[in-house]
Structure 1
C-alpha cells in the first residue's frame, strides 16, 4: 500500500558516510564490463530450483504459524516473547517469497504461486497481486527512481522526520489490510467509484504516494478476482473469530504481523540509498543507488532474507533466483576485484546504512 502520503519532499561519492548528490548519480555512465560479466558469469545458475524453493517456503510458513500459535497459547510473558520473535522472523521470510513470485518465469515452479497464496498471501492479507505487475515497474529501465516508480522516494533528500514516520506507518498495516479486505472491497461491489479508488490507491505494496495502479485485465484480472475473494472471506473469518474465541488471539497475531511489517519497512529503508530526485538513471547508476550487504555479516540473513541482502546485484540480474545470488556475488567479486564499480555497492550492515541516510536528511539544504 502507498502509506507515505504525509511525507513531504525536500531538496538533495559512493563514500560510506557521504551521500552522492542526485545530479552526479544521474550522470553515471554504464559500466559495460560489469554488466556483461554479470550476464556471462551467471548463465549456469539462473534456473529456479524447486528443491530449494518449496522446502524453504513451506518450512518458513510452518515454523511461523506454529510459533504464532505458541505465542497465543503460551503462559508467561517470557515464553510468549520467544514464540513471537520466532513467528516474526519465520513469517517474514515466508512473506518475502512474494518478491520471487514477481520475477520467476510462470512455468518455472508449477503450483508455487497458488500454494504461496493459499498458505501465506491470503492468511496474511497480502495476496501476490499486490506485488505482481507493480514491482516490475520498479525495475523498468526508464522508471527506476522517477515519479513513475511505485517503490521509490528520495528519502535521503527529505526532512529528518520522514524516516521515523516511514517506519511508524508500517505498524498500522495489518489493520489497514483488514479494513481493505473486510470493508472496502465488499463496498466496492456496490459502489464502482469505491472499487476504482481501492484498486488505484490501496492494492499495491508501494511507497510512492503519487502511484496510481491501472485496472487489471485478462488473465491477471481473473487471478485478482480469485485472490480478492479468498482474502475477503478470510478477513470475514478473522472478524468473526472475535465473537468465538475472543479478541486476544487476533490482537497477538496482529501484533506479530505489525512487527513483520516494521521489519520489512526497515529493510526497505536500507535497500537503496534513495538519492535520486526523479531523473531517469543508467543501469549502473541504479545499481550504485542500491545496496548489497554481503558476508561475513550474518544478521542480514534474518533482516534481508530470501536473497535480499544482495539487492543491488538483484537490480543487475532481476530474474536470478534468490538461492543463486550468493554464488553470483562471489563470482563477480572474484572476476572484477575490489577496486571496481561492482564493489562500491557493498555496505557493512544495517546500522551503517541507517546512519548514512539519517545524516543525509539532517544536512542543511
Structure 2
C-alpha cells in the first residue's frame, strides 16, 4: 500500500477499545479506534497494486454491453425486448460510469492510458467527463472537511425533512436534460460571456450534492484536461441535440431514459453510501468510517447497485487508494481479524432497503 492509502490510518490518536454490540459514529466523534486503524494498515500491506488487465477488461466489457443493450433497445420493434435491453444497458453503463470514482484515487502511472480511454469511451459519450469528479471527490476524503459544509458530497439527509429523500432521488431523472443544457448551451455561451463560464464552472462543473459548494478555477495540467474534455463533450451534446433533425426522436428519448435510470441508480446508491447523521462538525477517521456504509456478501444484489467496489464504501474511507478489486479481500481479512462486536462490524449493513428505512425513520423521528 502506498502512503496515500495509509495517511488516514497512521495518525497517532488515542485508542478506544472494542465494546460489546455495534459501534456508532457518536462514540468516536473525538477519539479513534486505533486498533482498527492499525489492523487496516497491517493486514493489507500486500494489497493495493492496481491491475491494468482487470480495469481495462471490466470497463470495456461493461461499456460494450451497455452500448449493445442501448442499440437493441432503440432498434427493437418489440417493446418488451426493448425494455429488457434498456434495463441491461442502464446497469452495464452504470458500472462503466462508476470507474470515474477509481480515476480520482488511482495514480495515473498505475494505469497508463486508462483515464483517456475511459473519457473517450464512457465519460464524454455519457456527458460525465472525468474533470467533473477529479479534484472534487478528494475533498470528501479530507480529514477536516468530511461531513462539513465544505464537503461537496455530504448532506445531513438523516436530519432533514422526510420529503427531502424522494426529492433527492427523483431529481436525478433530470440529469440527461441538465447535462445537455450545460454542455450544448451554457459551455458555448460561456465562450463568449466570461460571467456565464465562471458561473457554470463554480456551480455546475462537479458531481456534488451540496448546493453550497463552489468550485475553484482549474489550474496547471488539470486546466488543459478540462479544456479538451469540455470541448469534446460540448460538441457531442450539440450533436445529440441536433440528431432528431437527421434521425427521429426515438433514439434520443430511449437513450435519455436509459441514462435517467442510470442516474437514479447512482442517486439511490448515494442515498445509502452514508448514514448522513453528522451536523457539520469535523469527525475522526473512525467516525467517518461508521458514518459510511459497507454492504458485504453474502448478499449479491449490492454488486448491481454499488458496483466497482462501492459496496465497501466504508472500507474505502479507511483506504481511499485501495483498488476496487482488492477491497473484497481487505474486507475479508479485517472481518476475520476484528470479529463480531468490533468497531469494524459497525459499518456493515444488510442492504439498500434497511438503510433507506433507517434514514427515513431518522427524518421522521426528528420532526
Counterpart CA distance in 2 for 1:277 and 1:26 is 15
Q: Per-residue deviation at 1:28?
A: 4.6
What is the number of residues matched between the two proteins?
349
Counterpart CA distance in 2 for 1:15 and 1:236 is 56
- 1:59 equivalent to 2:61? Answer yes
- 1:146 equivalent to 2:139? Answer no
Spell out the pairing of 1:1-365 with structure 2 (5 A cutoff): 24=26, 27-365=29-367
Counterpart CA distance in 2 for 1:265 and 1:336 is 32
CA contact (8 A) 2:28 2:286 kept: no
CA contact (8 A) 2:158 2:275 kept: yes
Counterpart CA distance in 2 for 1:171 and 1:106 is 32
Q: Deviations over 1:153-201 (max 9, x none)?
A: 0000000000000011100011000000000001001111100000000
CA contact (8 A) 2:159 2:366 kept: no
Counterpart CA distance in 2 for 1:14 and 1:157 is 27
- Consecutive unaligned residues of structure 2, counting only runs of 5 or more, are 1-18
CA contact (8 A) 1:25 1:276 kept: no
Q: Deviations over 1:54-83 (max 9, x none)?
A: 000000000000000000001121101110
Q: Deviations over 1:33-52 (max 9, x none)?
A: 11111111112110000110
Counterpart CA distance in 1 for 2:310 and 2:56 is 18
Give the RMSD, CA atoms, in angstroms. 1.6
Which residue number in structure 1 is paired with residue 11 of structure 2? none
Counterpart CA distance in 1 for 2:366 and 2:93 is 40
Q: Deviations over 1:235-260 (max 9, x none)?
A: 11111211111111001000000000
Q: Per-residue deviation at 1:27?
A: 2.7
**Structure 1, 210-219 or 237-246: larger mean CA deviation:** 237-246
**Structure 1, 232-241 or 308-317: larger mean CA deviation:** 232-241
Q: Secondary structure at the match of 2:150?
A: coil
- TM-score after normalising by structure 2: 0.93
CA contact (8 A) 1:26 1:276 kept: no
CA contact (8 A) 2:316 2:322 kept: yes
CA contact (8 A) 1:156 1:273 kept: yes
Q: Deviations over 1:301-348 (max 9, x none)?
A: 100000000000000000000000000000011111111100110000
Counterpart CA distance in 2 for 1:282 and 1:321 is 23
Mark the CA change 1:72 to 1:140 in structure 2 (over 3 Å): closer, same or farther.
same
Mark the CA change 1:200 to 1:15 in structure 2 (over 3 Å): closer, same or farther.
farther
Q: Per-residue deviation at 1:25?
A: 5.5
